[in-house]
Amino acid sequence: MPTKLRRNGRVALGLFCSAMALSTAHAQTVQPYAKDRKPDPSARKTAGPVHGHKEEASSSANVEQIMATARRTRSEQSINHTQLQRILPGINPVKALEILPGVVFEDADPWGNNEQNSSLYIHGFNQNQLGFTLDGVPLGDQSYGNFNGLSPQRAAISENIGSASVATGSGALGTASTSNLGGSLQFTTQDPLHKAGGQLSQTFGSWSTFRTFARVDTGDFGNGNSAYVSWARQDARAWDFAGHQGGNQVNAKFVHQGSKDKITAFFDWSDKVEPNEDGIVEPQGGNMYVRPFLYPSLNEAVKYYNSAQYQNAGLNYRNYYSDAQREDFLAYVKWSHDFSSHLHWDNQIYYHHDMGEGVVAGPISAAGLPTLFGAYFPTDSSSQLSDVFGGSGMATRTTEYWDNRGGIMSTLHYDAGHHHLELGGWYERNNNTQARRWYAFDINNPTTPYDRQSNPLIHQYTNYFYTNTWTTHLQDNWQITKNFSLSAGFKSELVYTNGTLPVAALPGSLSPSNARTIPGGTIAAVKPFLPAFGALWNFTPHEQWFANIQENMRSFQDTGYGSASPWGMTSQAAFEDFKKNGKPETAWTYETGLRTSRRVHFGPLTNFSGQLEYYHVHFSNRLLAVSSSPSLGYISGSATILTNVGSVSTDGMDLSFTAQFGPHFSFYNALSYNKSVYNDNYMSGTTVVHTAGKNVVGLPDWTEKFVASTNWGDFYAQFTGDVIGRRYATFTNDLSVKSYALFSVNAGYTIRGIPHVQGLKIQGNITNLTGDRGWSTLSATNATAQYTAYPIAPRMFFLTVGASF
């Protein structure tokens, strides 16, 4: 085991022993303070059962829900802390949302933590076209190598997440995001407990999994003050090679609750290393399923890179290792004030600093690298280049990130009779740096996936980006009658980015040889009027109709060479042409549906709740980075031209319901249909790529999810299924991957009556119960004939023991 992980293990043991002396209330009883539950204006006076009778509301309260449905003009559903941790303790909250209708999440890691090979689709949009927030703080567009945020699992410890929700059609107007063409995902952290004490849990499992979580709550102190500090550490061997993934994370939260004011402060530090999974390039992969790294077998790697096996592997050659290293600091302070019962003011300021590094260690002869190195060492032969890079035949490539961003949000809520008005604004300044560098790989002093690189041989290029984001929104919810309301509003979005190039790549070092990193310049993405309209009608005490229409815009990504960004162009002339003629992506979303929640007397069925939704999306000005040399692979990068390639039309339906059979059994089911098609062909050079009428890549037409649950006092168990239909893997739909079904189980029991311990909880989990093999994330690397796929993780077993004191 690496030295860093052994050191972290000793820290974990020390904290484990310290936490055993603490006492606290049970974590799963945490509820937000009343002043935290500021509903969407369209949801006011309709929360909970749809104007249900007191008897039915009480009955529903005793039913453990897998998911909760918000009573809003748009579709929004959520899962709570308890269900998050039952799926798998420490899970990425985004992955936990995959049981909800319309959500398709893929990852080659059972926790969903590996960002390099994760993918998310909701109603036709991918994760870069959705909005993400934590306690209202923007988390960016979730690109791998985030340029404007961080992933939810790095922003907060999983065990501190109180709820995770997704608006599958359109997010609220006040969502702090400029990427949410479609819906939004919102995560909230738990507030401190009112009683002093602590929590401790330990997870063991397959592939040497060792996860520790500890939390200390102060309880109430002073005048309405409370706080907690928590720590998590995870270490697990990658399932297909001998690397370890994990790291440390610390959260702290303080809340002051006054009669008219609430002040909240939150801090997160995350330091993680995740060895990546190399995808298989298909159909060249043949019978290959995984592409494991050679680390830590250095001698084997040196022999392999001089063998016929390497020469014949093509794009599926094996690297020595690849990993993502991320260290983040995130903090916010929130102040809410009640001027009166009719006027409320929310304010929030935040700061995020990220230091990231994506690393690949592999052969110097791969994927066009001889051309790149020849530009920097023109007089050296192949054997001399090997000596330059340390005599191993390998080099280490890094993509290094520095991100400093901060912002402020302010929103006024005013109730004027039957009108509920909301006026808000958000400003963010983001200074983002991305650099590509190459380092020697010394045969006598080899690096590992856990090392930060230093002293580069080649500083290939560096981009600086300075982005100012301004958004405002105004909306009114008009409660026309007790059971019917209309809402209307708009959002203004103004994003200005200046991209510069302090270090340019040498001529001839990119692919093709005439490609250049460009000086760039300033481009604005501006839409001063993005309207939204909604309606909500409780047409019976138990049933509700909703409808929402909304327009959204996605600003340009602040990234450089090799990416789908204006600054990724490979000539300044192309950049200037796009600045003049290119358009940001926009989308109109239409959604309507019915909800029901009622107690029934139909044999064993005692409660039933559900939602049926239809949606239509028209997505305009789709942006695509058309690669001029995709076959050279990703190591050296390839020239791209960012182009608006037409529109996409999406139609779909989601049906979800929970059926309760007495006090001990329930069955949740979510069935979704989605048809997303490209409406236009596009040009790649002088070639027409025939995509009109073809299905959007990576999206299944059908998905089916279910959770069968049983509860008997202190015992519970769940059986979960996730069925993903066939997905097309190329833009022209000439290649596809078959459907698959994944099943998992969890069961737990709480032991009570132990002195000084509120409850000792034992939980077991099995993921991929049947050991199904197939492809999870698909990455379209070409318009036709080729794609990259990542495998589904094998069956794994986990055991968690936790206690509250």
Q: What is the pLDDT of residues 268-312, one digit of tens each?
A: 999 999 989 899 999 999 889 999 999 999 999 999 999 999 999
**CA-wise closest residue to 185 among 172, 210, 202, 166:** 166
**CA-wise closest residue to 640 among 623, 657, 658, 655:** 623
For the domain 3-753+760-766+778-804, what is the CATH code?
2.40.170.20
Structure confidence at residue 207 (pLDDT): 95
Structure confidence at residue 638 (pLDDT): 54
Structure confidence at residue 628 (pLDDT): 55
Structure confidence at residue 53 (pLDDT): 36
Angstrom distances, CA of residue 64 to CA of 658, 666, 716, 759: 10, 8, 11, 19
d(CA 546, CA 482): 15
Structure confidence at residue 59 (pLDDT): 39
Angstrom distances, CA of residue 723 to CA of 11, 104, 168, 654, 768: 41, 10, 19, 14, 12
d(CA 208, CA 211): 10
**CA-wise closest residue to 493 among 176, 186, 185:** 176
Structure confidence at residue 367 (pLDDT): 75
Domain-by-domain residue ranges, the chain? 3-753+760-766+778-804
Q: Per-block average pLDDT, block size 10, for the chain (805 residues)? A: 44 38 31 36 39 38 70 94 96 97 95 93 96 98 91 98 96 96 97 97 97 98 95 94 92 97 98 92 91 95 95 94 96 98 98 96 90 90 89 95 97 97 98 96 94 94 97 98 98 98 93 86 97 98 97 96 90 94 97 96 95 98 76 51 94 97 96 98 88 96 97 97 96 94 98 94 98 91 83 97 96
pTM beyond cutoff 0.75? yes
Structure confidence at residue 14 (pLDDT): 39
